[in-house]
Structure 1
Amino acid sequence: MRILLKKYKSVIRFIVTFLVVYGILIFGYNLYLNLSDGSKYYPDYLTNLVADQTNLLINSMGFESKVMPHLKEPSMKIIINGKYVARVIEGCNGASVIILFLSFIFAFSGKLKTTILYGLAGSVVIYAFNLLRIVILSIGLYQYPWRRDILHTVIFPMFIYGTVFLLWMVWVNRFSKIKK
């Protein structure tokens, strides 16, 4: 058993570090969600911010859009040219994807400063791509409502997780301290 532990020490360290960082970040995020004041920013600040920024981008593309709180669930409705096309729920704000990204980066850490800077930069990239994903998805659902399933369940998850995967590959190949 000791030989196996020694042989797979780096794999075990990666898994343990990943799970610890992921657990801490998820715990913190859930604490944030439970303490969010839904009266000021509904359903929570980050989801509200993503919905508002989505609205600004859609309007800047020549569509008339607005966002409003959903009355029956904790989400924000996206309305384009008077048509309700999508909703932004807590899971759409990109936080869980960023947590997954950061957990991986810290599990394959490099120099502390590089790890922190790359984590911040990658989080901004993921946030921006997620925002673009929601904008394009909303416009796509407005113009091609019959493509709802493939847009929402295949193409756009592939878009955001593909971005995360590319960021991970850049990290592992350029910045992490793994032995090559």
Structure 2
Amino acid sequence: MKKYFSQFKPFFVFISTFFVAYILLMLIYKFYLNQFQSTELDGMTQIVGRHVEYLMQLCGSDIKIQKNLGGSFLEVWYKQSFFIRIVEGCNAVSVMILFVSFIVSFSGKLKTTILFLLFGIVFIHVLNVIRIALLTVLLFRFHKYEQILHGVFFPLVIYGTVFILWVVWVNKFSKYAK
């Protein structure tokens, strides 16, 4: 048994570090979310909404994003119609937590790890803002493809990008990179 443990020690260290980081970050995030009443909206979702609105206005779109008065979501008014909602799950924080947990579990030099984490979080945020903006336009034009666009294509893009960031990290910057 000791032979197998020492043989697979890097795997066990990775798994335990990943789950400890993931659970800890999720608990912190849930604690943060629990500070808001059922009709309040968390700050990160509001930031995402403002950035989506800014990006779409920069591209010349007729867009208005505002807090719903009775619920904890943002109303997206596209071409003067209430079209979609941005809820807490749209802010990509859970994706960022997954990303951070993986990078921490395959950590490298401290400075490199911190810089890659910051780059990755900003990159995921920007990608998520672009995702919501594109989703708004595409759903307006191709509403019958909502399941494919919202449920398959865009999750594939964001999780695929996170996977590519992980591969780059492990092969170029982690302590296991050659």
Shared fold, TM over 0.5: yes
Tell whether 2:163 aligns with 1:165: yes
What TM-score comes out, normalization by structure 1 length? 0.93
Alpha-carbon displacement from aligned partner over 1:125-174 (angstroms, at most 9, x marks no partner): 01100110011001111121111111101110011111101100100000
Consecutive unaligned residues in structure 2, runs of 5 or more? none
Matched AA of 2:55: L
Q: Distance in 2 between matches of 1:37 and 1:50?
A: 19
**Alpha-carbon offset, residue 48 of structure 1:** 0.9
SS in 2 for 1:134: helix
Tell whether 2:72 aligns with 1:74: yes
Q: State the number of aligned residues.
A: 178
**Alpha-carbon offset, residue 36 of structure 1:** 3.9
Counterpart of 1:12 in structure 2 is 12
The percent identity for this pair of structures is 42
**Alpha-carbon offset, residue 14 of structure 1:** 0.2
Counterpart of 1:137 in structure 2 is 135
Superposition RMSD in Å? 1.6
Of 59, 63, 66, the residue aligned with 1:65 is 63
Q: Distance in 1 between matches of 2:101 and 2:84?
A: 30
SS in 1 for 2:41: coil
SS in 2 for 1:87: strand
Counterpart of 2:52 in structure 1 is 54
**Alpha-carbon offset, residue 79 of structure 1:** 0.9
**Alpha-carbon offset, residue 2 of structure 1:** 1.1
Conserved 8 A contact 1:37-1:44: no
